[in-house]
Structure 1
């Protein structure tokens, strides 16, 4: 049986006066998937997230959320939660009171009983009774996530969810999102941090100037960007440079130094280089991409779109 779709967008167009924010955008997100939305500033990410949350309606195209066609603002079905440009909080209320206000607004007694649990999930138990006006950016982000969790979402929309988080807070948020997806919810998150996307997302959509530059699995994105710059640290840097210079199909990068060699080429050529280094009794102590496959592909795709 096919996995049900949490989001199905086809030919989405959105303009603000003469500025085209979204130009024929297609997006498909199955239930149980964490889908990354990336792109440079002004690419249309926030506009698209707003449509998914029901904050606006597209000028044209079709949008289905959790199997329900959406044709007007504030008409998304129950089960959608999240925030764009940071969560809306009452600064004079405590974290617990903010969540209690949301539960009261929904008129759902079960939500009120879950407040302590969601605060614990996002690591805010200790500050549950502190007023949110004194919260850091990361704490506000986590409280916004707690508010979304309180509604038991089937589709969670998040804008830069790791903003302001320290490593411990990021690990906690990662765990929450992965558990949600494992339980069958879909998550769409926008992030400028490629490490967030690589750590969390099954698939990614890259937007550039309002158009989809790529959409699909991360593995496919990495495969389509086969020539990356690699940083090599060897036991004998000078000898390694000589071997690299005589390896067909390999280019030595301009960022190389006396201790570090930077090369680029297809993966089979890099494999050949490693074999030749080992054969020459040169130990390879480090071989890593200078930029991740996602970051390299993102830069290449968005530069193509803007040129």
Structure 2
């Protein structure tokens, strides 16, 4: 059975005067999945998010959202919610009053709109009656997410939702997004935080200069043939270095690097060669205390792909 798509975009082009913001972009976002959208500043991410939210229309291409073809009108179909460039809030109103005002705009009774529930979901119950003007950036982001949740979205579009979040706030936001996807909603998440994307997303699209340079499952970015830099902390760094020099497919990058106060060995290798090196180290009686990428697979792929695009 074909995967049900919340978003299907083909050849989307958007220009602002002589500036081409999006240049023939394709995008598939499956229902029940969290889809990451990444790229350097000016890549076209905000423009694409605006199209998904009905804040702009494409100059060319075809866009279906929740099964509805999107035409030339500034509108998104029912079931789409989110924000771009931060949520719009009334600073003089409390968190609860902001949500009540939004519910009223949608013709709903604030008493039955589920305001207390969404405030609890994003961890703002204790400040529900505080004015939004005193909120930190992270609290405003969470209130914006609560506003989106009031609509029970089938497609949630978020721009940098982790901005300003402390660990507790991040836990609340991650929990909400994971639950929504498990319940069948699609989430499009734009972020510069690679750790957030790797923790949450099953699929990712990388944009550079308005073009798609990668789109697909996150695991494809960490393909076994791709070389990455890894740091190794062992009980005998000299022995580990000797074995690294002798292992096919492994290149020693730094024999005297420091990581969190400890001396580590940095090597560059594809996954199979790294696995072979670790096995040889263990067989040699050396304890492997830590092994991990210097850069995450997503961050490494992002930098490589965007640098390639910029060099064209």
Name the TM-score class by shorter chain. over 0.9
How far the C-alpha of 1:255 sits from its partner, in A, is: 6.9
Question: What residue in structure 1 maps to residue 280 of structure 2?
Answer: 276
Contact 2:241 2:255 in 1 (8 A): no
SS in 1 for 2:120: helix
Residue deviations 1:75-118 (CA, integer Å, cap 9, x gap): 21111100000000000111111111011111123784311111
CA-CA distance at 1:249 after TM superposition = 2.1
Contact persistence 1:232–1:288 (CA under 8 A) = yes
Stretches of structure 2 lacking an aligned partner (at least 5 in a row): none
Cα contact 1:225–1:296 (8 A) shared by 2: no
RMSD of aligned residue pairs (Cα, Å): 1.4
Runs of 5+ unmatched residues, structure 1: none
* Cα deviation digits, residues 253-297 of structure 1 (max 9, x gap): 147438211001122211221222122221111111111111111
Count residues with an aligned counterpart: 307
CA–CA distance in structure 1, aligned partners of residues 255 and 204 of structure 2: 29
Secondary structure of 2:127 counterpart? coil
Three-state SS of the structure 1 residue aligned to 2:223 is: helix
Whether 1:138 and 2:142 are equivalent positions in the alignment is no
Conserved? CA contact 2:225–2:271, under 8 Å:
no
State the partner residue of 2:15: 15
CA distance in 2, matches of 1:191, 1:273: 34
2:270 paired residue among 235, 254, 266:
266
Does 2:158 match 1:154? no
Displacement after TM superposition at 1:221 (Å): 1.5
- Contact kept in structure 1, 2:33 and 2:181, CA below 8 Å: yes
Q: What is the TM-score when the length of structure 1 is the normalising length?
A: 0.97
Instruction: Give 1:208 deviation, angstroms.
Output: 0.6
Residue matched to 1:40: 40
Deviation at 1:26, TM superposition (A): 0.2
**In structure 2, do the counterparts of structure 1 residues 16 and 131 end up closer, same or farther at CA, with 3 Å as the change threshold?**
same
**Is the CA contact (8 Å cut-off) linking 2:198 and 2:298 kept in structure 1?**
yes
